Amino acid sequence: MTRAAPNEHSLIVSWPFDEGQGNMARDIVSGKDDCIAFALGRGRFQPPRHPVWRPGISGTALSFDGYSTYIRRSSGEAGKPADALTITAWIAPRTYDIDHDHRLCPIVNQHNRELRQGYAFGLYKHGSWSLQLGLGDEWVEVWCHDQPIRKNRWSFVAATYDKGNGTLKLYLDGEEAARLTHPAPASITPCEADLLVGRHNEEEVLVGPFVKNHFDGLMDEVRIHARSLSGEEVFRLYREALEPHGGQIPEIPWEDLVLPRELFSGDRHRPGFHLGPPGHWMNEPHAPIYFNGRYHLFYQSNPKGPFWQSIHWGHWVSEDLIRWRDLPPALAPEPGIDPDGIWSGSAALDENGVPALFYTAGNFSLNPDQCVALARSTYPEDGDVDLVRWTKRQTPLATLPQDDEVLPGFFRDPFVWKEGGRWIMLVGGGLQGLGGTAFVYVSENMEDWAYKGLFCVSDYAKYPFLGTGWELPVLLPLKRDGADTGKHIFLISPWGPGANKVVHYWIGMFDAANLRFVPDEEEPRQIDAGDFHFSGPSGMVDPVTGRTLLFTIAQGERTLEGEFDSGWAHSGGLPLQLSLREDGRLGVEPIREIEQLRDRLLLQLADVSLEEANRRLQDIRGDMLEIEVAFHFGSANANRYGVSVRRSPGGEEATDLYYDRLRERLGADRNRSTMDAKERTTGIQEGALELRGVPLRLRIFVDRSLIEAYANGLKSLTTRTYPSRIDADGIRLFADGDLRIESLRVWSMQPIF
């Protein structure tokens, strides 16, 4: 609805945000419709989208996405308060900025701090908030730190200034929260900058197209007055707004706070049957745990935008490892042990069977700035079966070992399991001049940990691709046909100069008595042949089936502009099962539950020529597919052959998955993957694959921009592609010689959310 302007002569602007739809917001004082900036409104990868609207305190509220949503009013059309000011708003922030230079995430601002002009009103780190003014030749700030604005709930905030008494005041929910009396009262120095709602008007680039200091959350009933309202008037506005709600601040369902997945449903590149956040940025899935009949999986998340910053733990839950449900972020940076980030870790059940999370806590005010921290589920107290609520221990479990050889400042990604009646923890790190390592700790009670030395160390001089440090160390047992083999797989992600940042692994023996890993071979191997798209390992032994499961991140490899315009970044890989084969090699397969996602069998062929298979494939199209193909050699003389996917009818765009028989290499040729000059997916990706005389069998998953291929249960290849053409959704087989197709099946696939 559109309401009439209130009988208030001092109002400069008033945005009630009652439109409930569209991309315009009306200022009921001037009658002007202001455009709402929104990245998805550009329509680069799907039809243009409008910003999100949600129920508000009165009518509807506007949801600011944390990086691209804002309103701009040009300086010439924005009234400038002089001798007095009041700003009021209802806000419900989702996140806070992780910032260190006292730049606000504004509710509203029209200021230049350096020139001491104008005004700014907004939030800072961990919910502290401030009104800031240019008064005469000074920049004056009043802060409220002891009553921070709480996340995920409505708060009524007000800020006032009165030149008559020189006092700046802040009000929270109708009550005064802070005040500052300036000894030299002056008028507010006018600023010629534009007036912005939800974005800082002194832009500071974070990276690429992303700028810092955007408001993230819901906003309603924003008003700016050219006079100072009294405390009684502020309280009356607060109480009047709550009358329709029985005098109580209404709760906000979590579904109204999170960005809806439907917002991205038309994106032609966003995967549908792979794990991903509701929106914005994610990195490695980690800390898998089974509890109360459900699988929980967490992931590195920035709910504030599709870029790296403000790291939280996102959270999914599933009953079958296939179909998942979003839950609120499990952990967020807070004052205390982890003010600057919640980085990767793992999960375990404590002595009472209650989940605990082990994570890397970031505190930039310390050196080193990382430690291992612990959070426990509140389930025993409140029956939280979804594991939404966690209580953090405020002292570190472990810190960087005090040894001159230890690489300073590198201590992250705890991996914890229980064995032999005690908990064991690996933490990634490095040794100066030697290479990467994992530090090992033990505990009898999950609270007190003793350092036990180095689990395994690489030789940087000999293997520089293993980097100077290791992230995400993971140790898992390897089984064969469900039986223990006595072997383990040890996985790491290299970091530092020269590092090849993909998953490397060794197969070997875990010496439990000495807490050391002894690899069968000195040089590690790679699971995946697609450079950097298969990384960030985590894993668990499934207590239901006994399988060894592996989870990874499928990096997006996009330009920053592509991530800005799409509103999301990165995906999870398919859950994998690892095993030890009869020939001693690692077995790698998607979990069998993936078959439940098959929708329709589009094509099934057996013992046909390549030409016949391609004739039948002409009518098979789709961007969410599973393809199984077995090549039959016989008298074939082909050396390079495979499957072309995401192919346009004339082959102008295509990604070719191939096997080079003479070189024994599995690869992806992306030189024709896209004609979009703004994308950067190109080149050859490949890795070693020894078939030892066995015909090639490929199982390929095409999920829009994400492609995974699994060859003979031995090797995976994960890659990304972003075709520009809508009709780049075909399949074609190819070979450089004679080749028959033993079998071919193609299914369409269903989404997992």
What is the DSSP annotation of 63-115?
EEESSS-EEEE-GGGS----SEEEEEEEEEES-----SS---EEEEEEEETTT
Domain end call among 196, 227, 250: 250
**133 vs 120: CA distance, rounded Å:** 7
* Residue 388 sits in the same domain as residue 495: yes
pLDDT at 637: 85
Domain end call among 566, 590, 614: 590
pLDDT band at 634 (very low <50, low <70, confident <90, very high): low
CATH code at 138? Answer: 2.60.120.200
CATH code at 339? Answer: 2.115.10.20
* Residue 499 sits in the same domain as residue 547: yes
- Is residue 266 included in any domain, yes or no? no
Indicate whether 676 pLDDT > 50.
yes
Note down the domain range covering 375.
282-590
pLDDT band at 636 (very low <50, low <70, confident <90, very high): low
- Is residue 96 included in any domain, yes or no? yes
- Is residue 1 included in any domain, yes or no? no
Token representation of residue 612: 């016949």
- Is residue 533 included in any domain, yes or no? yes
Q: 301-333: per-residue pLDDT in tens?
A: 999 999 999 999 999 999 999 999 999 999 999
Contacts of 30 (CB under 8 A, 6+ apart): 13, 77
Q: Are 495 and 472 in contact (CB under 8 A)?
A: no
**93 vs 462: CA distance, rounded Å:** 50
Average pLDDT over the chain reads 96
Q: What is the mean pLDDT of residues 119-147?
A: 97
* Residue 398 sits in the same domain as residue 323: yes
CATH code at 654? Answer: 2.60.120.560
* Residue 615 sits in the same domain as residue 574: no
Q: Are 54 and 218 in contact (CB under 8 A)?
A: yes
Count structural domains, the chain. 3
Indicate whether 553 pLDDT > 90.
yes
- Residue 582: half-sphere exposure toward Cβ, Cα within 13 Å: 1
pLDDT at 485: 98
* Residue 598 sits in the same domain as residue 534: no
* Residue 508 sits in the same domain as residue 485: yes
What's the maximum distance between 2 C-alpha atoms anywhere in the chain?
97
* Residue 735 sits in the same domain as residue 714: yes
Token representation of residue 513: 């008595």
**686 vs 530: CA distance, rounded Å:** 6
Helix, strand or coil for residue 612? helix
> Where are the extended beta strands (E) located within 481-623?
483-495, 504-511, 516-519, 525-526, 535-541, 548-554, 568-569, 571-572, 576-580, 586-590, 598-609
Which residues is 424 bridged to in the sheet? 417, 442
Q: What is the mean pLDDT of residues 66-89?
A: 96
pLDDT band at 699 (very low <50, low <70, confident <90, very high): very high
Q: What is the mean pLDDT of residues 711-723?
A: 97
pLDDT at 635: 57
**517 vs 416: CA distance, rounded Å:** 15
**666 vs 668: CA distance, rounded Å:** 7
Which CA distances in Å does 220 have to 18, 61, 101, 195, 287? Answer: 8, 5, 27, 17, 37
Which residues is 579 bridged to in the sheet? 587
- Is residue 271 included in any domain, yes or no? no
pLDDT band at 6 (very low <50, low <70, confident <90, very high): very low
* Residue 616 sits in the same domain as residue 483: no
Q: How many CB atoms lie within 10 A of CB 164?
A: 10
Cis peptide before 368, with omega less than 30 degrees from 0?
yes
- The candidate with the shortest Cα–Cα distance to 474, out of 576, 534, 547, 551, is 551
* Residue 545 sits in the same domain as residue 678: no
Q: Are 132 and 104 in contact (CB under 8 A)?
A: yes
* Residue 228 sits in the same domain as residue 244: yes
Domain end call among 555, 590, 625: 590
What is the DSSP annotation of 344-384? Answer: EEEEEE-TTS-EEEEEEEE-TTSSS-EEEEEEEESHHHH--
Q: 215-232: per-residue pLDDT in tens?
A: 999 999 999 999 999 999
* Residue 446 sits in the same domain as residue 304: yes
Q: 219-268: per-residue pLDDT in tens?
A: 999 999 999 999 999 999 999 999 999 999 999 999 999 999 999 999 99
Indicate whether 1 pLDDT > 50.
no
* Residue 565 sits in the same domain as residue 614: no
pLDDT at 117: 97
Q: What distance, in Å, lies between the first and last C-alpha atoms of the chain?
A: 33
Q: What percent of the chain has pLDDT above 90? A: 94
Which CA distances in Å does 198 have to 65, 71, 118, 578? Answer: 10, 7, 16, 47
